[in-house]
Amino acid sequence: MAEPTKGHLVFACGESLYGVAADLAAEVVTLPALTRVPGAPGHLLGVFAHRGEVVPVVDLLKLLGLGQGLEAWKRAVLVRTPKGALALTATRVAGVSVLPLGLSPLAADGVRAHLLGPARSPGGEVAIVECQGLFEHLSRVG
């Protein structure tokens, strides 16, 4: 019996690949000038207005402790969850891949608990972002 799968938008942030469920990936946006949020954690680069809503921009590299990120991110993947939207920084979009469901979290707690995998895609190993859990996690801890 084949394992269940789902379409994911796969994108790179730095050297690593990430995937978000295609039904949650609203679009890839070119980032405008961001409005800084005083006292925000370093991974929250700021917010921007998009079609009538304020969208926070999260630097995945900083959030995961993988580096300093870029000074001027140009693109992000806009993700919509039932609780709200957020934009995840991206250096490039790799396309849509069908990836397996039911993967284990990369850690038991913290932000990595909302990354599943690794999954294999044509471009390499992908960490799947569990967007709803990540949104809730960031809403609690900042």
DSSP class of 69: -
Domain count across the chain: 1
Q: pTM score, two decimals?
A: 0.93
Any idea what the CATH number is for the domain that residue 128 is in?
2.40.50.180
Q: Residue 142: what pLDDT?
A: 58
**Which range marks the domain in which residue 107 is found?**
5-141
Tokens 């396309």: give the residue. 95
pLDDT of residue 60: 93
Averages of pLDDT over runs of 10 residues in the chain (142 residues) are 84 94 96 95 95 94 84 90 94 94 94 95 93 92 64
Contact partners, residue 112, CB within 8 Å, separation at least 6? 64, 105, 106
Give the Å distances, CA to CA, from 69 to 21, 24, 76, 95: 23, 24, 13, 22
Closest of 15, 28, 24, 27 to residue 125, by C-alpha: 15
Buried b (16+ CB within 10 A) or exposed e, 11-31: bbbbebbbbbbeebbbeebeb
